[in-house]
């Protein structure tokens, strides 16, 4: 898919927001949702999405939405740092299929990194749901306010 297009209400993240598909939640408020990536590239890989915007990517998003979402990204990234104590954290966001975007709903990836531990390939394998739940609880417990 290109950088331009029409938002698809049937995308997996829209279904998660509506409660039609399950997710392992880390944080939620009225405007954003953070949940564990079921195809993680590293232990503790979290996704942060807008619950209210129909933006397909960063270029479609309203500035107010971006401000709210990036504030949520910072909040969850701080919790990932506190809970998992990684050596570094990648925060990334893709725009268009050639850039690696596979779900066309604005979202950010928070990927903890440890020295000497290679980054996995996204979609390489589905994580154990019970392990994701334990990580989500650990990260949620480290949220500030």
Q: pLDDT tens, 18-27? A: 999 999 999 9
Cβ distance 36 to 46 under 8 Å? yes
Domain 12-141 in this protein, CATH class:
alpha beta
Residues forming the active site: 107
Tally Cβ neighbours within 10 Å of residue 92.
12
pTM (2 decimals)? 0.95
pLDDT of 11 over the 70 cut: yes
> First-to-last CA distance in the chain?
38
Tokens standing for 137? 């609880």
Query: What digits encode the pLDDT tens for the residues 91-145?
Result: 999 999 999 999 999 999 999 999 999 998 877 789 999 999 999 999 999 997 5
Find the helix or strand (DSSP H, E) in which 111 lies.
strand 107-113
């Amino acid at each position: 898919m290109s950088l331009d297009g029409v938002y698809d209400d049937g995308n997996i993240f829209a279904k998660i927001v509506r409660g039609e598909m399950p997710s392992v939640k880390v944080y939620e408020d009225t405007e954003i949702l953070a949940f564990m990536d079921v195809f993680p590239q590293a232990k503790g890989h979290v996704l942060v999405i807008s619950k209210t915007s129909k933006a397909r990517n960063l270029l479609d998003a309203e500035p107010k939405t971006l401000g709210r979402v990036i504030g949520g990204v910072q909040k969850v990234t701080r919790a990932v740092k506190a809970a998992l104590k990684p050596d570094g954290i990648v925060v990334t966001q893709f725009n268009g299929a050639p850039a690696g975007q596979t779900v066309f709903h604005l979202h950010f990836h928070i990927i903890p990194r440890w020295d000497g531990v290679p980054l996995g390939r996204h979609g390489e394998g589905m994580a154990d749901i019970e392990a994701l739940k334990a990580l989500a609880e650990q990260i949620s417990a480290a949220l500030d306010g």
